[in-house]
């Protein structure tokens, strides 16, 4: 294979779809599977998922949440308990009908989401106000039939995610939980993944099937299509009533609990690829990068080897000591140039090269993945400088993505300008909307849907579709 | 509910089965589910599983293994690729036949184990000797139909586990991997879970379907039944040939890789419950306990509260600082006595009580969960003493279980004594065995199977069944 084939063969801004597929496979993040619609999360992709898990897990545990595990297969009767929910999910459910050669008495659904199987347990566990709140999170995978073509991380029949399911004494507490989680989600996406987002509610049409309302965060990809990054739902008593999640209150009376659910998935990895990558491959934000710094020794002569190897090991151990995730690439069978390409493809934020000249000059040479800037830094303050550069990269990636988001946000007062923006560059279109019927017509005519209704009482104005006064401001976009 | 009902209502040595069920549910480790054969892993049980995962994950990563994720559903055609494997698993497979209302063109198996779906990927990933070894581990759940009744952790249709799948250049490397992992397994079980084991190989009859040979570790439960704690398989080229996992060697020729697979499951939690628990509930070995020390303030008068609360917080933060997992239970709505019962039920290794007398005497009172011994220790060396007591508990639990194992290991020279031992107390029976046909007859007549063939060339002697000379020494037992 030539090194050209090893690299990405298309430009990101010319064919985003093909570019994306090549990055995913050439950076060894994920692979297709012969099980149609399914994907394999390869070790490098999994190590990014582990960083995301670690970060989120720590944050929710710090405020009292605990992990648990619930069954993969859900009896049909349970899934049917909340009718709106069942109707919403049933077309995409995979059904188990046989065990060995024996037909099962009742079909079992491979979980598309776990509300029903979890609430059955909660109805047993919740008896008194003393049992509340229940704050449980699950790391698992769910399966939903995908009719359209597979896009690794973005559209797969099975995906890894977390689903949180909580029960509270009062509606106020449940609504607070919904917002607390949305806040942690936003922090994770913006501060760790360096992806700017819009935050708000979904419309009735776009909400989770079975929710009172759904809150969401939405990012904008470079091709002008929005990507939903995670949702947090207020379920009110819509599940607690049919599932009989009841508690004896301090007032000695029986009450139904108030529930929430919330989820985010490996889709975040897809968003990071699309947001930050360039023609050379992936670019990972340092905070989420499994390897933040790769150190590559450059040997010219046999006699240099010991000095350089010592220096490489010393620097790496110094960096590791201050918590920088560092990898030494001293594989003998590859040239430095090959290694540069490989780690650029894999998006490692910073490369350190150490050769004979560096040893002599008591310096190391670092190369930023985002700007490809080459910087010689004094050996003596390498730790400080490298920490600082990693922060700069993190901020730079966010700022660059924010500029792209701002450039892809427009306003439309009528359908003519709405359609014009949509055709020319896509992106978010801020517009006023009167009701569900105009929302549906816009979707049919343009393919754009309401992504976000801003949280604070939105401004009022004339509906972009029908011109009715007193319409609320929302953000439209086409989406993944 | 009376405090009697909250406690275990049967003696461990009188009705182990009922005792076990009560511990599992009353310590809130797991719960049954209306999906028959499935169980819910509750937060407390999950936190033990997290400790096991953390420990094993760190150990295998330190020697180069990486985690990944592979599809849940396996096309029938793939599962059929290795015939012995397919024949072995097909009776217990759950089949997905429909997506929504649509019948699938090909049935999909809910993974009973992932060899086939993983090897399909490996056949694409492995091209050159440079790609080897592949050392991948997966944390997931698998589903196998269970006909007999559900026993949480021990016999459930779905279980959480890890499955490792590796490919090597040479058979020697593959066999070394099998033994390396068996070593890590043994360490985990003996050093962390404090459960003594026998280690060895399985017979042809008992090996994993599709393996060249299976290595295993087997523990002995108090009722005289063996429990398989984890297996590590040498698969030779039995999968690499049908799946075409081939590499171009350093000799420029094509070779088939050598593969291994290995797994351990949440069953380890069941083993810990059975091995260490007593009539008051669970006893967790300190190294695996999510909470190692619970600190309980004891207030008599309002005026004591501040001093005691300060002391409780100070001690806890001191213990946390030296890495002891400590929980303060200062819930106002429960009495100290209630809390003692609860944490005893949950098996927390050490309880610390701090009351007014302790403050005055500059001491704290600690109570060991294993011996229930009450010890007053000087406030000034609380850290050292508590660390030391935790180690003592860890060792004591292992020693106690070892004594039980030794007491449940006997020798039989003929079938009469074999059956006598089996009926009287069960346990491991060391005996000589000639061949597969005697093995089968013993199984049919007694229900006992060969659990372990010792690793080192076993001693030779007369077969316990047919009397043939030159038979090898093995360990029989009835098992879970």
Final residue of a structural domain among B364, B391, B418? B391
Measured between CB atoms, does B94 come within 8 Å of chain A? yes
Q: Does A130 touch chain B (CB under 8 A)?
A: yes
- Distance, in Å, from the CA atom of B289 to the CA atom of B291, rounded to the nearest integer, reads 5
Residues of chain A contacting B100 with CB distance shorter than 8 Å: 90-93, 145
Residue A159 · residue A141 · CB < 8 Å: yes
Q: Would B149 be classed as within a structural domain?
A: yes
On whether both A153 and A248 belong to a single domain, the answer is yes
DSSP state of B56: H
Residue B177: closest CA among B57, B261, B114, B300: B261
Q: Are B95 and B74 in contact (CB under 8 A)?
A: no
Query: Which positions in chain A touch B92 (Cβ < 8 Å)?
Result: 99-100
B126 lies in the same domain as B233: yes
pLDDT of residue B139: 98
Best of A69, A144, A153 to substitute, by most chain B Cβ atoms within 10 angstroms, is A69
Nearest to A446 by CA among A413, A415, A410: A415
Residue B282 domain flag: no
Q: Are residues A13 and A81 in the same domain?
A: yes
Q: pLDDT per residue over B249-307, tens digit each? A: 999 999 999 999 999 999 999 999 999 999 999 999 999 999 999 999 998 877 778 88
Measured between beta carbons, the chain B residues lying within 8 angstroms of A33 are 70-71, 117, 120-121
pLDDT at site B5 = 61
Our CA-based measurement puts residue A339 at a distance from the nearest CA of chain B, in whole angstroms, of 15
Note whether A303 contacts B: Cβ–Cβ < 8 A: no
Q: Tell me which chain A residues have a C-beta less than 8 angstroms from the C-beta of B72.
A: 38, 72, 110, 141, 143, 158
Q: Is A402 buried (19+), middle (13-18) or exposed (0-12) by CB count in 10 A?
A: middle
In Å, how far are A87, B230, B260 from B172, measured between CA atoms? 56, 22, 11
Query: Any CB–CB contact under 8 A between A334 and chain B?
Result: no
Question: Does the beta-carbon distance from B94 to A108 stay under 8 Å?
Answer: yes
Looking at B219, B245, B276, which one is the last position of a domain? Answer: B276
Distance from CA of B141 to the nearest CA of A (A): 8
Residue A306 lies in a domain: yes
Cα gap A198→A210, rounded to integer Å? 23
Q: Look at residue A5 in the predicted model and tell me its pLDDT.
A: 61
Residues of B in contact with A62 (CB under 8 A): none
- Give the three-state DSSP class for B138: strand
Angle B267-276/B16-26 helices, nearest 10 degrees?
110
A43 touches chain B (CB under 8 A): yes
Q: Give me the CATH number covering residue A318.
A: 3.40.50.800
Whether A143 and chain B come into contact, CB under 8 Å, resolves to yes
Contact A100 B91 (CB under 8 A): yes
Identify whether residues B11 and B122 lie together within a single domain: yes
Residue pairs spanning A and B at CB distance below 8 A: 158
B328 strand-pairing partners: B295
Residue B400 counted as domain residue = no
Tell me how crowded residue A301 is: count the other CB atoms within 10 A of its CB.
7
Distance CA B102, CA A152 (A): 24
CA geometry: angle at B137 spanning B131 and B143, to 5°? 130
Question: Chain A partners of B74 at a C-beta cutoff of 8 Å?
Answer: 35
Give the CATH number of the domain where residue B470 resides. 3.30.110.30
- Alpha-carbon gap, residue A277 to B58, rounded angstroms: 31
CB–CB contact A145 B99 (8 Å): yes
Cβ-based contacts of B140 with chain A (< 8 Å) = 141
Co-location of A345 and A471 in the same domain: no
Whether residues A329 and A466 fall in one domain: no
Across the strands, what pairs with B270?
A: none
Q: Could you count the other beta carbons within 10 Å of the beta carbon of residue A303?
A: 9
Which residue stretches of chain A have pLDDT < 50? 1-2
3-state secondary structure at position A475: strand
Residue B396 half-sphere exposure, CB side, CA atoms within 13 Å? 16
With beta carbons less than 8 A apart as the criterion, state whether B272 and B370 touch.
no
A100–chain B Cβ distance below 8 A for any pair: yes
Residue B54, phi then psi, degrees to nearest 5: -55, -50
Q: Tokens representing B324?
A: 């002891």
Do the chains contact at B143 and A73, CB–CB below 8 Å?
Answer: yes
If asked whether residues A462 and A374 sit together in one domain, one would say no
Q: Is residue A82 part of a domain?
A: yes
Shared-domain flag, residues A253 and A328: no
Residue A27 lies in a domain: yes
pLDDT in tens, chain B (480 residues): 445 567 999 999 999 999 999 999 999 999 999 888 999 999 999 999 999 999 999 999 999 999 999 999 999 999 988 788 788 888 899 999 999 999 999 999 999 999 999 999 999 999 999 999 999 999 999 999 987 888 999 999 999 999 999 999 999 999 999 999 999 999 999 999 999 999 999 999 999 988 999 999 999 999 999 999 999 999 999 999 999 999 999 999 999 999 999 999 999 999 999 999 999 999 999 999 999 999 999 988 777 788 899 999 999 999 999 999 999 999 988 999 999 999 999 999 999 999 999 999 999 999 999 999 999 999 999 999 999 999 999 999 999 999 999 999 999 999 999 999 999 999 999 999 999 999 999 999 999 999 999 998 778 999 999 999 999 999 999 999
Query: Predicted ipTM?
Result: 0.96
**Total structural domains in chain A?**
3
Q: Distance, in angstroms, between A180 CA and closest chain B CA?
A: 21
Q: Which domain holds residue A342?
A: 291-391
In sequence order, which ranges of B300-429 are alpha helices (DSSP H)?
305-321, 336-345, 356-360, 382-407, 415-424
Give the minimum alpha-carbon distance from B147 to chain A in angstroms, rounded to a whole number. 10
In whole angstroms, give the CA distance from residue B67 to residue A386.
28
A372 in the Ramachandran plot: left (φ > 0), alpha (ψ -120 to 50) or beta?
A: left
Tell me the chain A residues in contact with residue B75 when contact means C-beta distances shorter than 8 Å. 34-35
d(CA B248, CA B92): 37
Q: Are residues B268 and B322 in the same domain?
A: no
Q: Which of A232, A247, A276 is the last residue of a domain?
A: A276
In the prediction, which pLDDT does B2 show? 47
Judgement on whether residues B297 and B386 belong to the same structural domain of the protein: yes
Q: Are residues A300 and A252 in the same domain?
A: no
Residue A397 belongs to some domain of the structure: no
Q: Considering the domain boundaries, does residue B347 fall inside one?
A: yes
Distance between start and end Cα atoms, chain B? 33
CB contact under 8 A, B71 and A31: no
Q: What is the CATH number of the domain that holds A251?
A: 3.30.930.10
The strands making up B374-378's β-sheet, listed across from edge to edge, are B326-328, B293-297, B350-354, B363-368, B374-378
CB A339 within 8 A of CB A3: no
Chain A residues whose CB is inside 8 A of the B78 CB are 34-35
pLDDT at B305: 86
The model's pTM is 0.96
| Joined tokens for residue A209 | 């099937």
Counting beta carbons within 10 angstroms of the beta carbon of residue B375, is it exposed (0 to 12), middle (13 to 18) or buried (19 or more)? middle
Judgement on whether residues A271 and A183 belong to the same structural domain of the protein: yes
Q: How far apart (Å, rounded) are the C-alpha atoms in residues A376 and B7?
A: 68
Closest-CA residue of A relative to B68 is: A43
């Amino acid at each position: 294979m030539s090194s050209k084939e090893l690299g990405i063969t298309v430009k990101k801004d010319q064919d985003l779809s093909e570019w994306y597929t090549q990055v995913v496979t050439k950076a060894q993040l994920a692979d297709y599977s012969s099980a149609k619609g399914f994907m394999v999360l390869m070790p490098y992709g999994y190590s990014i998922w582990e960083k995301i898990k670690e970060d989120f897990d720590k944050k929710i545990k710090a405020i009292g949440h605990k992990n648990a595990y619930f069954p993969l297969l859900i009896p049909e009767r349970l899934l049917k308990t909340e009718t709106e929910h069942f109707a919403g999910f049933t077309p995409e459910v995979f059904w188990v009908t046989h065990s060995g050669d024996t037909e099962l008495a009742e079909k079992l659904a491979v979980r598309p989401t776990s509300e029903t199987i979890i609430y059955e347990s909660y109805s047993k566990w919740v008896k008194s106000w003393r049992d509340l709140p229940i704050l449980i999170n699950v790391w698992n995978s769910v399966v939903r039939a995908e009719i359209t073509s597979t896009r690794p991380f973005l559209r797969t029949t099975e995906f890894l995610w977390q689903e949180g399911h909580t029960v509270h004494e009062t509606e106020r507490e449940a609504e607070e939980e919904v917002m607390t989680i949305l806040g942690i989600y936003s922090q994770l996406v913006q501060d760790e993944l360096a992806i700017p987002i819009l935050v708000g509610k979904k419309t009735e049409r776009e909400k989770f099937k079975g929710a009172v309302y759904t809150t969401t965060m939405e990012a904008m990809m470079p091709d002008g299509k929005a990507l939903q990054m995670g949702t947090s739902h207020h379920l009110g008593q819509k599940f607690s009533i049919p599932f009989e999640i009841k508690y004896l209150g301090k007032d000695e009376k029986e009450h139904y609990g108030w529930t929430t659910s919330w989820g985010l998935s490996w889709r975040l990895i897809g968003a990071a690829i699309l947001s930050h990558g360039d023609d050379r491959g992936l670019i990972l934000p340092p905070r989420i990068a499994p390897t933040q710094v790769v150190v590559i020794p450059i040997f010219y002569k046999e006699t240099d080897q010991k000095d350089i190897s010592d220096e490489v090991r010393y620097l790496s151990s110094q960096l590791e000591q201050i918590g920088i995730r560092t990898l030494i690439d001293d594989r003998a069978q590859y040239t430095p140039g090959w290694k540069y390409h490989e780690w650029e493809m894999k998006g490692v934020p910073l490369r350190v090269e150490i050769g004979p000249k560096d040893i002599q000059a008591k310096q190391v040479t670092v190369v930023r993945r985002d700007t490809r800037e080459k910087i010689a830094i004094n050996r003596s303050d390498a730790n400080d400088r490298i920490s600082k550069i990693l922060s700069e990269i993190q901020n730079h990636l966010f700022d660059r993505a924010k500029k792209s988001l701002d450039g892809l946000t427009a306003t439309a007062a009528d359908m003519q300008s709405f359609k014009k923006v949509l055709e020319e560059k896509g992106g978010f279109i801020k517009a006023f909307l009167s009701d569900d019927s105009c929302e549906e017509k816009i979707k049919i005519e343009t393919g754009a849907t309401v992504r976000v209704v801003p949280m604070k009482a939105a401004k009022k104005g004339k509906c972009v579709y029908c011109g009715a006064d007193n319409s609320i401001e929302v953000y439209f976009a086409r989406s993944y």
